Amino acid sequence: MKYDVEVKISLKKGMLNPEASTIQRALALLGYEVQNTDTIDIVKFSMDEETQEAVQKEVEDMCQRLLCNPVIHDYEIQISPVN
């Protein structure tokens, strides 16, 4: 069965986020007042697997080994079967 996968990767609370700080300052210079700016990376892909649990296990492994640094990043996985 085919599954669509979306992984959202963000910095853990308390980690410095220079990209978000730069965006917040630039928006302020343009006249926009923004609070609590965060940035996330979104990785989307499709997988063929027997079960959703198998996809979950493989994507967890991908996140731990390649997609993010578990020391400084949090991640959220969304899996949707493709009809």
Q: Which residues of the chain have pLDDT under 50?
A: none
Q: What is the model's pLDDT at position 41?
A: 96
Residue numbers of the domain that contains 57 = 2-81
Our count of domains for the chain comes to: 1
Q: In CATH, what number is assigned to the domain containing residue 60?
A: 3.30.1280.10
Q: What is the model's pLDDT at position 83?
A: 82
Q: What is the model's pLDDT at position 36?
A: 82
pTM of the predicted protein model:
0.86
Q: What is the model's pLDDT at position 80?
A: 98
Q: What is the model's pLDDT at position 35?
A: 86
73-81 vs 2-11, strand pairing mode: antiparallel
Number of C-beta neighbours around residue 75 at 10 A: 19
Q: What is the model's pLDDT at position 24?
A: 93
